Amino acid sequence: MSRLEALAARTARLDASLREDAPRWIGIPYRWGGTTRRGIDCSAFVRQYVRDNLGIALPRTTADQRYEGIAIGRDELRAGDLVFFRRRGVRHVGVYLSDGEFIHASSSRGVTISTVESGYWDRHYWMSRRIIPAPPAGDLPTPRSIVRRDSTGARG
């Protein structure tokens, strides 16, 4: 299997894993500043969803999450990437799944899956960040096996 084929297989597994967890979140209401299943905002949702599914610790706010990982182009999106939107200074974040879809906590619909290319999201797309580190050649971790270390070397 070539490295490109291995990466495609890894991305497909990651997408399947993220989509498998989605139903337990869909419909949870949006609450600004909320961090629980009784009500959650977009950055708290992304933080929890990413920690549960990828084992990566993210900061609490969208303002801080926008600096995580590396910047990528919209045409480079893969499952597990963060997608950011901005409208009139208000920032929003979600987790990219595949096929143009992302999961997020919408202020009008609660946690839902939307399409990046749909009118509203397309118009307000801002940037994307890849938070999953690139594996060394020949070492392709599976979803949920990726753990980020903080600056002290402790697992996060």
> Domain extents for the chain?
3-130
Query: Whole-prediction pTM value?
Result: 0.83
The average pLDDT across 72-77 equals 96
At residue 139, the pLDDT reads 52
User: What is the distance between the alpha carbons of residues 140 and 151, in angstroms, rounded to a whole number?
Assistant: 23
Share of the chain above pLDDT 70, in %: 85
At residue 138, the pLDDT reads 53
Give the chain's radius of gyration (CA, Å): 15
42 is annotated as an active-site residue: yes
92 is annotated as an active-site residue: yes
The average pLDDT across 59-75 equals 96
Which CATH architecture is the domain 3-130 placed in? Alpha-Beta Complex (3.90)
pLDDT, tens only, 106-144? 999 999 999 999 899 999 999 999 999 876 655 555 555
Count other Cβ atoms within 10 Å, centred on residue 125.
15
From the list 92, 129, 130, 148, the catalytic residue is 92
88's tokens: 């009139």
